[in-house]
Amino acid sequence: MTNRERYDTCVVGAGIAGLNALFVASRYLRGDERIVLIDRRDRAGGMWLDTYDHVRLHQPHEFFTAGNIKWTLGKERGYLADKAEVIGHLQHCLEVIKQRARVTELFGYAFEHAEEANGTVEITCRSEDGHEITLEADRLIKAYGQRIETNEALKLSSERARSISPDHVEVWGSEMRVSDEPVWIVGGGKTGMDTAHALITEQPGREVNLIAGPGTFFMSRDRSFPSGLRRWWSGEPISSVLGEWARRFDGNNEAEVADWFRRNHGTWLTPETGNFLGAILSERENETIATGLNEVVMDYLVDVVDRNGSSEVILESGATMPFEPGSWVVNCTGTLFRGEYPYEPYTSSSGRVLSIQNRSTTFPFPGGGMAAYFLTHLQFLGKLTQVPLYALDAEELRRNAPDYALGSALLSLQMYNLSVVAESLPSRAFAKIALENGLDLDRWYPLPRRLMTASNFMRTHGREREHHKRTLDTISERFDVVCGPLVNA
C-alpha cells in the first residue's frame, strides 16, 4: 500500500461491529469498488482476541455472525462456542466477504483522525512503530463498537494477596492449579460466572468465593432457547420478550420491571440482584456455580489489607472478612460501557462518517453488531442523516444511573430505533434487511412463530414508539444524559 490511496469505503474495527459494516457494504458496492479495513489489532476478532481463555459465547453460536454468514462448526444449534471458535468464525466471515468485495486489510494500524473536504473523507492512521498512512474514502465507518480493552488486576494493599486479571493469567493454567489456596472472584456478571464455572468444574473441591456487588440476574437460556421440538410451542421469541420489557418500562420503574422479567425469564444465584445487562445463563450452569461456591458476599470489595500478622478483606459496607494468605483475587468487574471516550455523534452532518460507539449508541445489543448492521444500511441508502434515530450516551448513563435503569433504557432505545427504521424504509426494503440480519435471536424459533412475532411488531410498533420516546425522554431528564435525535444531523 502506498502512503495515499483512495477507497470507496473505509471501515475501522474488525470486531463483530466492523464485520457487519463490511458485510453490508459488500451488498451495495460494485465489484470494482474498494473497501479498506483498519484495525489496531493484528487480525479480525476484536475483543475476543484478548479476553480470558475460558470465555464462552452466551447465545447459541449461529447468532453471532456478520450478516447472514453461516457457521461451519457443524455443532448442534444450541452449542456455546469457545473463544477459539468465535475468533475462527469472525475470521471466516472476513474471508467470505472478501470473496464478494475487494477488501484491503490494514491490520496493526490505529485510526487517528479524519477530515471531510470536497466530498471525500481524509483518514490518517498510524502503525505502532509510527508509520503514518493517509487514505481517502467516499465514506468512513468507525465501527469501534464496544471498544473493549482487557481488565487489569485490582490494586490491593496486601502483600499476601495474589491479585490477577483473568485476561492476563489463565485460571485453567498451571500457576493457579499448583496452589490450592482459596479464590475470591470479584464481580457477579458474565465474567464472574464464566470464571466461577471454569474453576468449579475444573478444580472440584477448591474454595471459591464470590464478591457479587448488588448481584446480577441472567436471562435463562432454558426458557429463552427451548430445544428440539419444544421450539414450536414453548419459550417466546426474544424480541417479543424484550419488547414487553420496553412496553412496561416508563423511565422510572426499572426495579419493578426488572423484577417482572427476572421472575418470568431470569435465573440467578445471589440472594438479591440489582444488575442486568443482557447476559444469558442456563439453569444448569447456575446450579453448578451456586452449589460449588463456598461463600457469596453481597457487597463491594474495597481492599485486602495485612494487619498484625493476618490479612482481611475490607468491604464497602465497612464489614471485614478473614483472608487466607496466598489466596487469589480475580478481577471480574465489568468492562461494558466503561470507557472514557470523548463524545461523538453517530453520524457527521453529511452522513459520510458513521461512528458506532457507546457515547451515541442507537442499537446496543449485541455489542456494536446490530448498530453497524442497520446504520451501514442507512448510510448506503443515503438515509443516515434523515432517519430520526434516538442516540443515547450510554457511558454517561452508566455513571449516573442505577444498573437496572441502564439495562432498561438500552432496551427501550433498541425498540424505539427499530420502529423508526421500520417506519422510514419501504416495507419490502425493511423486510429484506431484517431477513439478512443473522444477529436476530428470534431465528432460533421456527418460521411460523417468527412470522407471527414479526407481524405483531409491524402492527403495533407505530403506537408503541410514542411510549418508548416518552420513556427515553424521562431517562434523559432524570439522569441528565444526552438521549434524543442528533442536533447536527
Give least dist CB 350 to ligand FAD, A: 21
The sign one gets for the Cα dihedral 342, 345, 346, 348 is negative
Task: Give the nearer residue to ligand FAD in terms of CB position, either 379 or 476.
Answer: 379
Residue 333 interacting with ligand FAD (CB under 6 A): no
> CB of 361 within 8 A of CB of 344?
no
Residues 52-91 touching ligand FAD, rule: CB under 6 A, are: 55, 57-59, 64
Which of 235, 366, 407, 438 touches ligand FAD by CB under 6 A? Answer: 366
Residue 110 interacting with ligand FAD (CB under 6 A): yes
Task: Give the nearer residue to ligand FAD in terms of CB position, either 57 or 185.
Answer: 57
CB crowding 344-354: b at 16 or more within 10 Å, else e = ebbbbeebbbb
Residue 17 interacting with ligand FAD (CB under 6 A): yes
Helix axes 83-100, 16-28, angle to 10 degrees: 20
Pattern of binders to ligand FAD over 450-489, x per CB under 6 A? ----------------------------------------
- The region of 47-55, 69-77, 97-105, 212-220 touching ligand FAD under the rule CB under 6 A is 47-55
- What nine digits make up the cell of 43? 487480525
Question: How many CB atoms neighbour CB 74 within 10 A?
Answer: 6
Which of 89, 92, 147, 359 touches ligand FAD by CB under 6 A? Answer: 147
Residue 144 interacting with ligand FAD (CB under 6 A): yes
Longest pairwise C-alpha distance within the chain: 73
Give least dist CB 365 to ligand FAD, A: 8
Helix axes 283-292, 190-202, angle to 10 degrees: 70
Give least dist CB 140 to ligand FAD, A: 12
Task: Give the nearer residue to ligand FAD in terms of CB position, either 86 or 293.
Answer: 86
Residues 175-204 touching ligand FAD, rule: CB under 6 A, are: 190-191
Which of 60, 188, 364, 368 touches ligand FAD by CB under 6 A? Answer: 368
Which residues share a beta bridge with 125? Answer: 111, 133
Which of 27, 34, 41, 231 touches ligand FAD by CB under 6 A? Answer: 41
How far apart (Å, rounded) are the C-alpha atoms in residues 280 and 263?
15
How far apart (Å, rounded) are the C-alpha atoms in residues 221 and 283?
7
Give least dist CB 190 to ligand FAD, A: 5
Task: Give the nearer residue to ligand FAD in terms of CB position, either 70 or 307.
Answer: 70
Q: How many residues bind ligand FAD (CB under 6 A)?
A: 32
Which of 60, 67, 145, 226 touches ligand FAD by CB under 6 A? Answer: 145
Give least dist CB 437 to ligand FAD, A: 14
Task: Give the nearer residue to ligand FAD in terms of CB position, either 311 or 335.
Answer: 335
- Any idea what the Cα angle at residue 407 is, between residues 405 and 413, rounded to 5°? 95
How far apart (Å, rounded) are the C-alpha atoms in residues 373 and 434?
10
Give least dist CB 164 to ligand FAD, A: 15
Give least dist CB 278 to ligand FAD, A: 8
The burial class, CB within 10 Å (0-12 / 13-18 / 19+), for 123 is: buried
Give least dist CB 322 to ligand FAD, A: 30
- The region of 11-19, 157-165, 206-214, 286-294 touching ligand FAD under the rule CB under 6 A is 11-19
Give least dist CB 15 to ligand FAD, A: 2
Task: Give the nearer residue to ligand FAD in terms of CB position, either 166 or 243.
Answer: 166
- The region of 95-103, 298-306, 361-369, 455-463 touching ligand FAD under the rule CB under 6 A is 361-369
Which of 146, 158, 361, 453 touches ligand FAD by CB under 6 A? Answer: 146
Q: Which residue is nearest to ligand FAD (CB)?
A: 145
- The region of 45-53, 175-183, 217-225, 304-312 touching ligand FAD under the rule CB under 6 A is 45-53
Give least dist CB 97 to ligand FAD, A: 15
Residue 51 interacting with ligand FAD (CB under 6 A): yes
Task: Give the nearer residue to ligand FAD in terms of CB position, either 16 or 301.
Answer: 16
Site for ligand FAD, rule CB under 6 A: 12-18, 38-41, 46-47, 51, 55, 57-59, 64, 110-111, 144-148, 190-191, 335, 366-368
